[in-house]
Each structure stands twice: as structure tokens, then as C-alpha cells.
Structure 1
Amino acid sequence: MTEPPRTADRAGTVPPTEHEPFAAPTEHEAEAAGATGPAPDPRGDADALPPALAARYERREVRKRPAVPQEAAVLRVTDRQDGTDCFLKWYHPGHRPDPEVWRILRDRPADGPDALPHVLRLHRAEVRDGHPFDTAPVCGETHLAAWSQDRPGPAPLPFVHAVVRQAAAALTALHRQGIVHRDLSPANLVLGSLDPPGPDLTVIDFSDAVHAPRPRFGAASEWVGTARYQAPEAGLARQLIHPPADWWSLGMIIAELAGGRHPVRHLTADGARAQVVSGYLDLSAVTDPRLKLLCRGLLTQDFEYRWGAEEVAAWLAGGTPATARRPADRLTGDPLADDPLADDPLADGRPDGPGAAHRLPVFPFAGREFTEPRLLGQALAEHWETARRALARRGTRTELVDWLRNAAASPRYGEGDREELTALLPAFTARRPPGPADVVRLLNWLAPTLPPVHRREPVDPAEGLALLAERAAGLTTGDGDPAAADITDELLDHRILPLLDARRGGSGLSRLHQQWAAELERWPRLVAALHAEFPELRRRRRTEPAVRRPDARLRAAVLWTVAAPEAVRRFLAHQAARQRELLPAPVPWYTWLLGDEGDPLRLLLAHTLALDARDDAEQAALRQRIREEEARTVAGFRREDAFIRSLEHRTVLAWAVGGGAALTFVWIFVLGITDALNWAPQETVALAWIWAVPGAAAVFALELWTAQRIGAPCYHPDRSLAGLVIRGAERPARRARRSPLAGALALAAALGVLVLTLRWAAWVWPAATVSALGWWTWHRHRRWTGEHRRLRDLAWRGELRGLLVPRQRRDGSRNGARPQDGGRTQQEDGRDAPASQERRDHG
């Protein structure tokens, strides 16, 4: 906030900034930084304030321009309302400070238990027109880094003690409020006075501070801090955010101030972190015994034994709190090989434990030499793949077993520790390499205070396990992380989580493992219940691999539902609601799955089968569209048929009357001649006339009904009685013209039959005519009904072929589409030719 311009250090380089934008990314930072570099800064030129801020503040000086978007622009401005000078810190919209930290620094009381002594007070902290900014008073004109630069060598003892007292008061108050600074360095300690006994120190720059009442792991994108002042646990794949990291930073500041040089000789970020993790810090320049004790307490590698507010307060009161042994492990070839604390009587593995005389041999690993079991455990955990390859060699395992037996002889270990090691060693003396569970048990024995981390991935129940499962499952991104999925499978197959339950911050992992296993056992039962409710799903082979044999991503998704049930339930419920809105038609089995939104596993199954639900909905919508289109087509067909019938109705009836008249006129005329000439017995003629009247009525009734039923244009001439009479008269006439003799003989035979029937059975003519017409009426109506239905179906298929949605084939192509291999489609190879020909025949 109020930091003056940064100055060069003694090496002539700019001190690492809060995000180290000029340093090459380490293996941890590469994931967060990405491959594309920082995004464009929407703030533009930091010299020109946005209108929302320029209306109140007048810029006087630009103290710091942001080099990367993570950094804030620092300007010295004048408040137009009261005329006071203050510092304005203008943040990137995507990298604004923690809102809770803002609130505490702005609204804190001036005194009382919630006061924050020697901590920057914010006048304003808000977002205006999308621009986050805060303002604070001018606390001083120089900071501790510039003060040390101007005064080479160790600082005066009164000044150092004053810095310790005031900085400790600030950290104690901040940690009481749940704030972790995360970037405490000399450049962030502003001096309000140059008087050695009273420097009036103020802690500034809370850009990276977070409100973390409980220790937690930060996300990969939260990699912040200055490397030379970072604690060893900040070198994990995800930084451990907790108060002990701030006390380590204070120890580095005091060691540099009291000794006149930094305990870490490396200036690059990677080199500094490597030396910090290695465990060797050069404190030989700190000659004052009291300050040396303070530095040893604050710079303890194991944060469980690191000094905090209570120990520093006791030290300031003149006490001598116990310190843990500063490890003698160091980088190979370090020229500063002499350990200045080697002769310290307190140099033991635990603050107050015995065993100062027990010295372990050196065990080499990853280019370093270890004599401290806890540091070896930390190194094995940090370099998991290197450790796995090393332990795969039998010679390395034999050397490690001997080293462990020597370590177990130390008085720091009790009988229970030795029995635990004895039970563990057979896995490392066998011919086969130890499994992941054996390595985790070894790490638990070597470094019991390790955080719950497996293969460099935090798996703490608070957040890390859920983040790992989310990455492995890929439900939020659509593409799971294979490496993360491999880790989750290893956690399940080798029962790693119960082994990590005893670690600090790992309480509850054993319970989560049991819940995970129980949910995986419940998964097939849930699938079976779905199949029992909807048997058609059982017959779908395409859904079985996804739900019957869960793969690594699905197992990780089940773990996610266990590690963060409420968050996963909300996410899956939201996804299911969106999916249900997009479905074109209801899917009963999908609705059944969503019936209990309080069950994350049920929602996960619905999410897994979402594509099947969409396919079923599309098919149901397709069937509905086909039914509707069929109904419209049939209705249109009937309307056209009715229209044509209405136009030709009178003509059709006229043909029906004409056909009936032509048929009945013949035998009525013949019966009249026979009766008039008395050619046949009167009984026969009377019976014929009795049949003739109802027969004629029957002929006209049958023909008119047929004409009304079939209608135009199908009735005449193909199915009408008039057409039949015409065709029946044409055929004999053509044959008679071709052969007159045959025609004469046929005519004579017909007349003979007519005379015989009239003389002996005249009633046969009306009876036979009505019977024949009745049969023909049934026959032609049946033929017409079948042809009408077939013609309608052909017309419907021809109109709806383009609406059919092709289903995906197993080879990736679609029905009716051109195959990928260049083959012909169904339409191209002529398989539709018979249907097309049939439509042409009936058009």
C-alpha cells in the first residue's frame, strides 16, 4: 500500500516482488502460470486514474507500476475533499484482495483486544465502476529493505529488538483476527521513524493476505510470496496457508538484520527455495546469543515446533523457550559446511527430548545427504517419483533399512515406534519393490507431522481431496485429468486415505474412505433399481459400460460426492435442471433419477446418463413429430379426396345410374317380350317379374352405394358397372370383326341360352344378375380399400422421409449419410427404387 520505490540490494538486483514475475517458474508455478503468459491488463496506463477515482483523488506520484496483472499500481495522491496525502493502491479486477481482510483492516477499532498495532489502517477499501482500490495514510518514507541497504552490516541491537517487538505485536494481532500475511519481507515493513529504539514499524501490503482461521492449502493459482522469505511448507504443490509461515518470514528478516547478510545465499527463486527446503541456513553471522536463539526458534523446519506468538513473547520478556534442533542437512558441495549449531546442547530432534549424543549416518537421496529422519520423510514426499524409482532398486532399499534401524536406536523413539518399524521393514527387504501403502507408512514413521499429501497432491478432507477428485472426474471441465485419476485409483486400491488420517490436518480421511467404498458398493444397486423400474434400459448395451463397470473418472466422481457432498449436490442438481430444460420431450427414467435431489450419487448417475436421456428425448420427440405429420398428411389426403369427390359427385352417380339401367334394361326388355308373346309358362314369367322389381332396385342400390363409397376418380371406368358393360361389349365386337364366323356362332349360342332360360327359368336372369353384382361389389370394394391404403402410405413416406432423424451408427456415421469410406448411400445404390416405382404406378 504505502511502500516506497524498491531499491536494488547489495547484489545489484531488484528484490523479488510479491509474485516474482521475472523469475523462471518452478515446477509448482508452471501449472498456475500456464503456457500463454499473463492476460492483458484492463487497467491500461497506471499514470491515469479511471474517472471513478480521478473525480476524488489527484495524482501526485506513481510509486509503483504493475509489471504483471497480479500486482497493484501504487500511487501517492491527494484527497480533494480534505486535502490530505495518502497512498492509493489500484488492483487488477481479477486479483483483488480478500474482502474479509479488507473489512478487518478498514473497520478495526483503535484500541482494545481487536486493535491491530503496527498494522496498516485502510481509509477506504471498495470497488468502484469495476476498479478495486484502497487508500491508506502515509506511514513513512522508507522501508526496512532500503534502510538496510543504506546501512551495510549488522543493525544495532536496540533497533533489532524494536523491530522484533513491533513486528511480533503486529503478527500476533493479525493472527488473532485470522489473517495470514503470506508475503512478509523487509520491503513490506515501513519505518515511521529512524530512531533505533523506536522505529514505529508498520506492516503493509496485504494484497496476498487471506482470512484463514484454519490452516488450509491454497489453489495452484494462489502461489504468492517472496522466495527468500518463504517457509519450507510453502514449497508444496499447493501452498500451506497458516500463521507459522509468517513467523518463519519474520525469522528470516531478523537473521538478515542481525547478521548483516541473508541466511540464504541464492538470489533466484528456485535456488532460494531449494536451499530453504534443504534445511541449511547460514546463521553464522548472527553473533548475539539471544538473537541467535530467536532465529533458531523462528527458522525451525518443522512448523509444529516452530516458535510463534507465545514463544516470541517469552523471549521478549527475557525467557529462553526451548527450540528444536536446526537440521544439519545441507546441499551437496555447500562451501558453508560447518554447522554453527552442531555443538548446541539443545540440538536434538525434539525440543526437550534426549538423544543429543546419538548421531545418524548419512543417507543420500536426490543429490542431498540426510541425517534427520523427518527431513528425509519430507524429501521423499516432495520427490515421490524419484523416491519410487530409488526404492525399486534393491540395493537402495537395503541401505535404507540399515539407516532406519540405526535411526530407531535413537532415544527419541519409544518401544512402540520400534515395533511399528519392525512390522514395516519386511516390505522393504522383500524381492519385490514396496507398494504405495508401504511407502506412505514409511513416510508416516519418518515424518509424522507431514500434511496429508500423496504424490505431491494435497488430500486433506477440508479441501484438497475434493479438488483432486474434481480434477480427476472432470465433471466441471468435461475432460478429466488422467494423472489425478491415477492418484485417486491408487488411494482406493491401496487404502491410502486411512493411512493419512493420523497426519496433521488429515483427521476424517479414514471415514471418507469408508463412505467412498460404501458409495461404490451402492452404485450397482442403484443401477439395478433403475433397470428394474425401466427394463428397456437393461437391453441397451451402450449404457452398460458406463454404469456397470465404473472407470477411473467415475470412481473419482463418486469420491467427489463423498468429499464435498453439498457442493457436488448443488452442482449436479444445477446441471440436471439445465439438462431437463433442454430435453425436447420428457424422459420417464431420467425424471425418476432426479426424483431425489438430496442424493448426490443418484444425481451423478443421472449426469452420467445425460447423453442417453437426450437421445431418448430426441427419439420421443421424433416419434411425436412423425405421428403429428402422419395425421396432417392423412387429413390432407382426405381433404383432397373429398374435394375431388365433390367435383365429380354428380358425374359418378350418373355413371352408376347408367350402368344399373344398362344392366336391368336388357332382362326387363326380354321378360316383357317373353310375356307379350307368351313364349314361356305363366308361372315362370310371373316368378321372373316378382324377382325383377326388387332385383332392379338391388342393382341400382348396389351400384349407387359403390359409386358413393369409391367416388372419383377411382370409380369410373375401372370399378363402375357402366365401364364393365362397355368393356364387355367391346371385346366381342373386336373379335367378331376379326372373325365374323366365330362371332356369328357365339351370338347364336348366346341367343340359344337366352331362349332356353326364358322358356324354362326366366327368373334366373334377375336372380343371377343381382347375385353376380353383389359379389363383384364386394370384390371391387375390397380391392379399392387395399390400394387406397397402400397409396396413402406411399404418399406419407415420400413426404416425411426428410424429417427422419438418423441415429448414430457404431462406426460413427449416420443412416442415410455418406459413409466415411466413400461408399454409396442407401439412396445412391437404388434401394429405394421399388418404392419409387410403386408411387409412379399409383400416381
Structure 2
Amino acid sequence: MTTPEQEAPTVRDPGRDGPVGAVGLLAEAVTVLDAGRPRPGNEPPTVIDPGRAPMPAGHMLPAELLERFEVVRELTGNGSQGEVFLTRERSSGADRVLKVHHGPPGLDGHVAAYLTRNRSLHVVEVHEAGVASGQPYEVMQHVPGGTVRAWRDSSPSGVDPAVLTELVGQVSAGLKSLHDNQIVHRDLKPANVLVRSAEPLEVAIADFGISVHVPHDAIYRPEERDTVGTIPYTPPEYLAGGAIEAGFDWWSLGITLRELATGELLWAGVHPDIVRSQLVGRQIDVDGVRDERIALLCRGLLTTDLRFRWGAEQVDAWLRGESPAVAAIPAPTSSSQTAATPYVFLGAEYHARDLLALSMSRHWNVARELLFGDDARPRRRALTTWLKQFPDHGGLVREPRGLRSADTRLLYLLRRMDPGQPAVYRERDITRAELAVLAQEAFDEVEGQATGIITDLWQADLLPLFATARGGDGLAEIRTQWHAEEGRLRDLARGLRPDDVRAEFQRLSRQRESFGLVLSLLAACATDATRSELQLRLGREDRALQLPWFEDLVRRRDYWWIALALAPYANREADRLEAEERQRRAHDAWLRRTAWQRETLRRLNRPMALGYAAVAVVVLAVALYALVTFSEVVGFASEAQILDAYLASVVALTVVLVTESLLAWDAGERYHPAYSFFGGGRVVLGRIARRLLTRRIAVPAVLVALAGLAALTAFQPVFVPFLVVALMVVWTVQRYLAWRERDREELAIIAAG
């Protein structure tokens, strides 16, 4: 078994460990090779997830594995993905390859089930996959014949076409088996094709560490767009924001075949940004493939348009000697022209503006500060001068007037340089699928990059621009739907009931200016599957919460997204109501326990209640006399009116004192705070304030009320005491009736107990 050299490293899924497969297929440092195998130089290290450290040297296998396997030698040294050992199984004496990952999750569960049970002859055999002491591991067959990459490295003029034809037949059979079982390999390359036997030839696909289960025709993993796979073998539609589907592996087979047929490693030593640009923007050159049949197969497999790329059906036809049609190669565009004088960006020289635009889009923050940061005008002027080397002067897309954001200005600059650039903004793909991910991220966060991107997309109306870019299919429709959803959700929010619910939604909108945009984008990007999942989620919430207003939202399809936004509030309300219910039950139990002393406590506390009533009258007296004094100072009322106002105040206060004292005497201990002037007043003022705030007229309403009171006091002060006494009597009667109603309820509770 051997390990690969000179390959670009396979990059892992965020949060996943290194790939799983037959030993020797991982680009690890300090690799131990099979006896007699020379090591080519310049082997790059394998890239691991950010924040993860390589396993310490000398790490031992978990004890439970050491009991079953005797280590013959370590095949990958201190690998960054995991450690791979050639072992001898103690029970059978058979040679086995054992891979131990640094940590979870290891193999995709569906992939592991396939490899251990239903695999093809041309897929490496995995005897078992499990977890030992928290570390995933796989036990695989030992394949000592090396990989087909050795053929490429030892055949500068290319591998024999007959051998390649047999290889294609076997690898194609392995891929068809994977795809029939809803698995996409995602890392097919010469280093991941093992040679079981040279005579007769028998090969097997290995290394399934980043393979995924694709239960439908395709799945989207936009968060992994730049962090997964080996870039030279990654298809252009995936790099441009497309989905993961079977065509991914057929493209990888095409690159593998092209390298074996020419004996050359594509893009050796080329910067990844340039490789991405070459993959996304240009057809792969197969002129170096001498055999016409192999060249035809390469052109079919390396068709950039996924719709016309060869798959299992065309490869089978080619193996039968037929010549399926190959899609025409697109003509070169003006943005792929080169300049005589290079432009230097991040230490690299660029002669082609599309490559420069791609590099800047991949290093967005650096490019933004360089061209639109402080004192950036000379640097922009230098770039403009460089662009004049091109026939159209880099003016293919004009920047609209009025742009203020540095990010949007950079976007239009990059589109001027390369109108065919993929839909990328602030280092995020702007595709139909990615917009849904962005909206979900922004919905889950308070403030962050996703929220800022969505705000820019709306305010600068960028989706029509992205709709013309590669990967921008469907964005024009999303833009139309987004605007429609934003207006509809705004109208629906105005009609929310009850008032507290409407006030909460308005609070959320005020707290985050982009809240409505994010919610409406979620609605605009939703698929039927997303809506079904949302319906199930809201249904579960509704059954758990038992809130009538939330049930009403869930029942009406148009309100689902508002219900999603209000779900946290609904949970808090349900908790509050549950706490109140527990409090009520505890209070009812207390009433029953203390029923014998209820009347006694009420009578004994009457003096205290009368004291609260007297203090309330004193406060009211101060307020009334302050108003009458105000009228006397401003001088609009006559002296007779002022005197009448003082006398009216005395009468009003007497009436208030009598009515308030009667209520306090009757309620006794229960008077304060529930039914007193101070406690009841706080409740009333709170309700009025909430109603006013809900309608956004709090300040105007308060100002109008104060102005009216001031005018009445200034010109007709005698009416103020009568107005006060009238209001107080009405309010006192209401409090008395409320007290009596509550008293009857408590007596009923006591009687029921």
C-alpha cells in the first residue's frame, strides 16, 4: 500500500475529520512508503479544519483496538487527518489497514453502511466502521499494489490507451454503484484509485472521507463551497455555487483521465484562486491527449455545462465503441484577454483581468480596503490605468450613480473587470440556495455579516446584477418574490391581534432594522420542502404552547413566517401563563387554608387601608391646588373664578375622601395595592401606555392631553375640580365593583374546596 505525492490536498468539510478509505490515499506528512517505492519530492501537507491541531507524535491506538490488532507499521506518520496503520488481525492473522480518526464524526452513516454491506467490486472493501474511545475508525482491506497516480508519475508520455480504457470501465462501474446507492464520492483522483492487480488489471475506488449521501438528485452544501475536496478535481458548477450531484464525480474522472493520458499533473504549483478561475471560466484543454478515443472521452466528461456533461450512459456507449455527441466549446470572452503589463495584488502578478477579479473576490476585505479604504484614490487610479490595456477599457458594466457602500462599489468594479464572474459578494456565493442559507443565518443572529449582506442586496438592489452572473439562475424571480413578500408581511403585521402580539412584532422590527427583510427573504426562498418542515415545526410548537393567538397564526398559511418570528415570544408567554396558573393554584390553596381568618384580617387592617386612602386624597389635594395656583399665576381667570375653584376643590376632595374611604373600609386588608389609588392607578396608567405605544401615538397623545388640561385650568379653573371628582367617583365605583367580583370569586373557591 502506498501514499500519494504531489497531489493538491483534499480539504475537509467544516467540522469533519479527514477522509476514510484504504490506507495510503491521504496526503500526509512524513509518509512511510512500501518497500522499494521511491518518493517524488514536493509533497504538500494535508489541510485540516481551522482551529484543529494535528495528532501528537507517538499517539497510541485505543486499547480496545490494540487488543484486536497488532500494529505492523504506521503508514501515514503523524498525519493531520488521522492515523493509518498496517495491522495484523490477532484472531485471523490477516493483514488489515486500520484508520483511526482524530475525532467525530468519521464516515457518513449512509456511506459506511454501503461500504460494509453493498459495495461494488471496484470500491475498496471496508470490513467494519465504528467508534473506539470516542474516535471513529475503519478496518479496510490491505491493497499493496499502490495507486494509479504512480502510472502518471512514471509515464511522461501518458498511459497506454488500452489500459486507460480498461481502467475507465472499472472506475465507471464503481461510480455507477455509488450513484445507484445515492452516494457522491467528491474526491475522485489518481491517488484515490487503488490497484489490486496489474495482470489482469483490477482497480478500486477508495477514500470516502468526504463522500455524502444525496437522497435526491442533488443537495446543496454552500457553507463548504471553498473548504471541501481537491480543487483541481472539483467541477466548475460546484465552485460557482451549484449543487452536489453525480456529475461531480464524472468531472473528476475526466480530470483524472486527462492527467493519466498526458502524464502531467494539471495546475502544478498554481495558486488556488487561479485554478478556480480556470475551472469556472474556461474549457479544459485536452489537446495534449494523443489518442482520439481518449480525447473524445475527456471532452465529454469535461464539458463545463453540467446539462451536457457525459455520465454513465455516455461512458457506457463510449466503452462499446460508440461516439456520443460532445457539447460545443464556448468561444473565449473579452474578459479572458491578457495585458502586457501585470497588475500586482497580494504579491502575485496578474495579466488577465478575470483572474484578478476572481482573486479580489476571494480576498474581498483586502480588496475593499485597498481600493475604497483611506487614501485609496491613487490605487484605484492605478487599476484604471492598468485596465486601459484592454480593448474595452474594462468598462463592460457601468457603476450606477449614488452608491455609497464600499462593498457595493467593489462589486461593480469587479463586474466591470469580468462580467462573467460568478455571483460572489463579500466572500459569499449569491445563489438561490445560498440566499436561503444567508437568510437563516441572519434570522438566527442578532447582527453579523449575513444581515449586512442581505441589507446591501435590498438597499442597492443587487439581485438583478447577480442574476446575469454564473450561478445566478433564478435570482430575478427571487428578487420579485422578495419584494412581494416584504410588502405582504408588512401589511399582515399591522393587523396582528391581540395588541400585545402586534407590539412584540413591532419591537422586533425596531430592534433590528433588517428584521423584515430577513423574514421576507426566508419566505421568498422557501421551497415546498421548507414550507412543509416549517408547518410541522409550527404545529409542534402550537400543540405544546396552547395559545389561541399563536394557533390562529399557525392555522393561516400567510402568517407562518410571522409565527416563526414570534415563536420565542410565544414560548415566553406560555411560560408566563403557566407560572401565573401555578401562582393561581397556590393562591387558591392558600385561600382555603386561611378561610377561617379571612374576615378577621380584613377588619383588623381597615385602619391601614384608611391611611392609604387619606394619603391618596392628600396627593390629589396637592395636585388640585397646584393647578388652581397655576391658573392664578397666568392671570387669564378672574379673582371670582379663582375663589370658586378653591371652594370647588374643597368639595371635590371631600367627595373623593368619602368614596375612597368607603372602598378602603369595605376592602380592608385587600384595599392596597390591588384596589387603592396608588396600586390601581399604576395598573391603569400601564394599560394606557401600552395601548398608546402600540399605536405609536404616545408622545402626541400625552402632549395633547397636557395642553388641554393647561388650557382648561388657565381659562376655566372651576371646572377642573369637578372634572377630577367625576373621574374619581367613576373610577372608585369601578374599583369597588372589581373588588366585590373578586371577593365573590374567592368565596366560591373557598366553598368549592
TM-score (structure 1 length as normaliser)? 0.53
SS in 2 for 1:97: coil
CA distance in 2, matches of 1:517, 1:616: 36
Q: What's the counterpart of residue 455 of structure 1?
A: 426
Q: Give deviations 1:189-214, integer Å, cap 9, x for gaps.
A: 2122345xx54222211121124464
1:218 Cα offset (Å):
2.5
Q: What's the counterpart of residue 466 of structure 1?
A: 436
The one-letter code matched in structure 1 to 2:172 is A
Q: What's the counterpart of residue 746 of structure 1?
A: none
1:45 aligns with 2:61: yes
Q: What's the counterpart of residue 366 of structure 1?
A: 345
Note closer, same or farther for the CA distance 1:127–1:166 as it changes in structure 2 (3 Å cut).
farther
1:142 aligns with 2:135: no
Note closer, same or farther for the CA distance 1:630–1:204 as it changes in structure 2 (3 Å cut).
closer
1:607 aligns with 2:567: yes
Q: What's the counterpart of residue 165 of structure 1?
A: 168
1:101 aligns with 2:105: no
SS in 2 for 1:351: coil
CA distance in 1, matches of 2:308, 2:416: 20
SS in 2 for 1:187: helix
1:273 aligns with 2:272: yes
Q: Map of 1:792-811 to 2, 5 A cutoff?
A: 793=671
CA distance in 2, matches of 1:553, 1:576: 23
Note closer, same or farther for the CA distance 1:132–1:15 as it changes in structure 2 (3 Å cut).
same
Preserved contact between residue 7 and residue 146 of structure 1 (Cα < 8 Å): no
Preserved contact between residue 215 and residue 240 of structure 1 (Cα < 8 Å): yes
SS in 1 for 2:168: helix
CA distance in 1, matches of 2:262, 2:586: 87
Given candidates 339, 362, 368, the residue that maps to 1:382 is 362
Q: What's the counterpart of residue 3 of structure 1?
A: 23
Q: What's the counterpart of residue 559 of structure 1?
A: 521
Given candidates 462, 469, 476, the residue that maps to 1:496 is 462
1:95 Cα offset (Å):
2.3
The one-letter code matched in structure 2 to 1:96 is G
SS in 1 for 2:197: coil
Given candidates 204, 207, 220, the residue that maps to 1:205 is 207
1:470 Cα offset (Å):
1.3
1:487 Cα offset (Å):
0.7
Q: Give deviations 1:381-401, integer Å, cap 9, x for gaps.
A: 434455656776564675587
Note closer, same or farther for the CA distance 1:615–1:468 as it changes in structure 2 (3 Å cut).
same
CA distance in 2, matches of 1:101, 1:297: 30
Q: What's the counterpart of residue 218 of structure 1?
A: 221
Note closer, same or farther for the CA distance 1:483–1:185 as it changes in structure 2 (3 Å cut).
same
Preserved contact between residue 523 and residue 561 of structure 2 (Cα < 8 Å): yes
1:603 Cα offset (Å):
1.1
Larger relative contact order (Cα-Cα within 8 Å, sequence gap ≥ 6): 2
Note closer, same or farther for the CA distance 1:504–1:641 as it changes in structure 2 (3 Å cut).
closer
1:163 Cα offset (Å):
7.5
SS in 1 for 2:495: helix
The one-letter code matched in structure 1 to 2:519 is A
Preserved contact between residue 546 and residue 608 of structure 1 (Cα < 8 Å): no
Q: Map of 1:756-767 to 2, 5 A cutoff?
A: none
Q: What's the counterpart of residue 544 of structure 1?
A: 506
CA distance in 2, matches of 1:234, 1:632: 74
**Greater Cα offset, 618-627 or 492-501:** 618-627
SS in 1 for 2:455: helix
1:101 Cα offset (Å):
3.4
Preserved contact between residue 399 and residue 409 of structure 2 (Cα < 8 Å): no
CA distance in 2, matches of 1:470, 1:783: 59
1:259 Cα offset (Å):
6.2
Note closer, same or farther for the CA distance 1:529–1:221 as it changes in structure 2 (3 Å cut).
same
CA distance in 1, matches of 2:322, 2:248: 23
CA distance in 1, matches of 2:599, 2:66: 72
SS in 2 for 1:49: helix
1:510 aligns with 2:472: no
1:483 aligns with 2:449: yes
1:319 Cα offset (Å):
9.8
Q: Give deviations 1:300-345, integer Å, cap 9, x for gaps.
A: 7956699755888898899999999xxxxxxxxxxxxxxxxxxxxx
Preserved contact between residue 167 and residue 203 of structure 2 (Cα < 8 Å): no
Aligned-residue Cα RMSD (Å) equals 6.1
Preserved contact between residue 573 and residue 603 of structure 1 (Cα < 8 Å): no
Note closer, same or farther for the CA distance 1:304–1:796 as it changes in structure 2 (3 Å cut).
closer
The one-letter code matched in structure 2 to 1:366 is F
CA distance in 1, matches of 2:466, 2:227: 27
Preserved contact between residue 117 and residue 173 of structure 1 (Cα < 8 Å): no
CA distance in 1, matches of 2:362, 2:446: 24
1:520 Cα offset (Å):
1.8
Preserved contact between residue 16 and residue 227 of structure 1 (Cα < 8 Å): no
The one-letter code matched in structure 2 to 1:460 is T
Q: Map of 1:9-28 to 2, 5 A cutoff?
A: 10=39, 12=41, 16-17=45-46, 20-21=47-48
Preserved contact between residue 256 and residue 263 of structure 1 (Cα < 8 Å): yes
Preserved contact between residue 260 and residue 285 of structure 1 (Cα < 8 Å): no
CA distance in 1, matches of 2:557, 2:403: 51
1:482 Cα offset (Å):
1.3
Preserved contact between residue 231 and residue 276 of structure 1 (Cα < 8 Å): no
Q: Give deviations 1:663-682, integer Å, cap 9, x for gaps.
A: xxxxxxxxxxxxxxxxxxxx
Q: Give deviations 1:63-90, integer Å, cap 9, x for gaps.
A: 5579679547555454958x86554556
Q: What's the counterpart of residue 534 of structure 1?
A: 498
Q: Give deviations 1:769-795, integer Å, cap 9, x for gaps.
A: xxxxxxxxxxxxx99997575466579
The one-letter code matched in structure 2 to 1:604 is L
Preserved contact between residue 317 and residue 323 of structure 2 (Cα < 8 Å): yes
Preserved contact between residue 255 and residue 262 of structure 1 (Cα < 8 Å): no
Preserved contact between residue 159 and residue 263 of structure 2 (Cα < 8 Å): no
1:351 aligns with 2:329: yes
Q: What's the counterpart of residue 627 of structure 2?
A: none
CA distance in 2, matches of 1:355, 1:482: 37
Q: How much identity, in percent, do the aligned residues show?
A: 22
Note closer, same or farther for the CA distance 1:134–1:589 as it changes in structure 2 (3 Å cut).
same
The one-letter code matched in structure 2 to 1:45 is L
Q: Give deviations 1:812-836, integer Å, cap 9, x for gaps.
A: xxxxxxxxxxxxxxxxxxxxxxxxx
Q: Map of 1:241-390 to 2, 5 A cutoff?
A: 241-242=244-245, 246=249, 249-250=252-253, 253=256, 262-266=265-269, 273-274=272-273, 276-277=275-276, 279=278, 289-290=290-291, 297=299, 308=310, 351=329, 353=331, 361=339, 364=343, 366=345, 375=355, 378-379=358-359, 381-385=361-365
1:490 Cα offset (Å):
1.9
1:146 Cα offset (Å):
5.9
1:483 Cα offset (Å):
0.9
The one-letter code matched in structure 2 to 1:470 is Q
Q: What's the counterpart of residue 182 of structure 1?
A: 186
1:364 Cα offset (Å):
3.6
Note closer, same or farther for the CA distance 1:518–1:615 as it changes in structure 2 (3 Å cut).
farther
